[in-house]
Structure 1
Amino acid sequence: MSRQNYASQQAKIQKEIERLNKQAQLLQSKQRKPVISGILRSMKEYGITPDEIAAAYGKTGSKIRKISVEKSAKVSVTKKSVAPKYRHPVTSATWTGRGKAPLWIIEAEKNGQTRQQFLI
């Protein structure tokens, strides 16, 4: 491949990239307009001023983080253990019947056995 051929292909690719970037920006601006209109409509409906938005926007990041940290500290989720439903007769391995079946169940089903045979 000659340098001139390489340079012309590079220039074509660069033009295509620029064209696609412009197309992406146009698409983004088209999608943003209705959202902005909706926000302005809501601001007018509730009498919210741009200054109030600016003040809330400045506080939002730290306020949200603080609230999420407080909630996560207060809420302690305790998971209850589930009693096993199935037991392997030889190895005594158990399974609750939830989630992905263990290999010993899968192998037994391949060999013609049913899960009911392993019920506790």
Structure 2
Amino acid sequence: METKLLAAKIHNLRFWVTECDPMQLKVRFQNYLEKVDFVILNCSDHHFPVQGYTALWMLAESHLAIHTFPDKGYTYVELSSCNQGKSEHFKKLVEESDLQVNWNGEGVEICKPENN
């Protein structure tokens, strides 16, 4: 097996959507991950007793997390990935969807240590 060294940088995509239904969110974002060919290692979710929902997909490329705030009518979504192409493709799927999206930042942001 060939070893691939990666730069210490993460492509981060953060946004809010107005969809708060846990099942709709889980199915939709699972489908996006699969369409982009992210390698899904695990998925875990939690329904909070009073209200709210969190889901986390552990990816070979990093992770996707969603957190609902149903009392406010919003869900926060954050994708972190070491693969810029997959991150950009994921963003395009979100943009082309029927979701009402409020982007945080300028799209896919590159996060890296100062001396990298």
RCO higher in 1 or 2 (8 Å CA, sep ≥ 6)? 2
In terms of fraction of residues, the more helix-rich structure is: 1
The TM-score with structure 1 as length reference comes to: 0.22
In terms of fraction of residues, the more strand-rich structure is: 2
The TM-score with structure 2 as length reference comes to: 0.23
